[in-house]
Amino acid sequence: MHDSQATTSQATVQVTTAEHEAHNPALVHQFADAEQQKNAASLGMWLFLVTEIMFFGGMFCAYLIYRLKYFNAFAAGSQSLAIKWGAINTAVLIASSVTVVLAIYAIRFGRKKLTVAFLVVTVLLGFVFLGIKSIEYTDKFREHHVPGANFHFTENFDDNGKQIPVNPNEVQLFFSLYFAMTGMHALHMIIGIGLMSTLAVLTWRGHYSAEYYTPLENAGLYWHLVDIIWIYLFPLLYLISRHT
């Protein structure tokens, strides 16, 4: 049915497909043209980020409930965290997001070496973040703030030296969430570092150009999301009642 119309448009579709396939080696078979392929990849990445938000959302939900329930313990636990390291790490991550943006900006102009340089800086900043995080974790072990049999909490004083009455179990819950949330975030950082390193190598080998750089853009989206999760984690974990 509707034969003539259908045949004409089909013919057009066939021709465009063939043309694009001839010009663009990155185009895979299931897509009609490069634009469709790019749009699909980008939508797929955004949906994946939605699943990541839901994944962390479970922990944010637990955090919210326990923070409302055990506010004093959470404030005391929070104030025993090293705000200095947390703040530096926030700055490090924001800087790394900037370098990701610059890397993508550079590839748009086909500046291969510059792109690789920015990706390498991003990876290095990622390592700085993890290094600082591991210093913090080590301190927590030393201070017996890691949940479990050896957990002790005696730092229940606010910044003015006034004692806050808290139940150690409730503070332990704060640290359980602290380790679960920052640990899961660190795992995502490690994945991100692996991703960025791979892309740096692929860029160096000339896989991406001003015409085709979708993987770089999608990896950038992932990196920004991991960054944004930290932007939420930092105030939620480090900055409870710091002003009092």
Q: Which residues bind another protein (CB under 8 A)?
A: 1-2, 5-6, 9-10, 13-14, 17, 28-32, 36, 39-40, 43-44, 47-48, 50-52, 54-59, 61-62, 65-66, 69-70, 147-149, 167, 169-170, 172-173, 176-177, 179-180, 184
Q: How far is the CB of 72 from another protein (least distance, A)?
A: 12
Choice between 61 and 94, CB closer to another protein? 61
List, in order, residues 6 or more apart from 171 with CB less than 8 Å away: 73, 74, 76, 77, 153, 156
CA-closest candidate to residue 49, choices 222, 233, 223: 222
CA-closest candidate to residue 231, choices 56, 77, 47, 45: 56
Q: How far is the CB of 89 from another protein (least distance, A)?
A: 22
* CB under 8 A, 24+ apart: contacts of 148-155: 151/175, 153/76, 153/77, 153/80, 155/76, 155/79, 155/80
Q: How far is the CB of 211 from another protein (least distance, A)?
A: 20
- How many other CB atoms are there within 10 angstroms of residue 183's CB atom? 12
Indicate the length of the chain as a whole number: 244
CA-closest candidate to residue 89, choices 204, 227, 196, 225: 227
Q: How far is the CB of 184 from another protein (least distance, A)?
A: 8
Choice between 51 and 160, CB closer to another protein? 51
Choice between 29 and 142, CB closer to another protein? 29
Choice between 37 and 90, CB closer to another protein? 37
Choice between 15 and 201, CB closer to another protein? 15
The H or E element spanning position 234 is: helix 214-238
Q: How far is the CB of 85 from another protein (least distance, A)?
A: 22
Q: How far is the CB of 139 from another protein (least distance, A)?
A: 18
Choice between 43 and 91, CB closer to another protein? 43
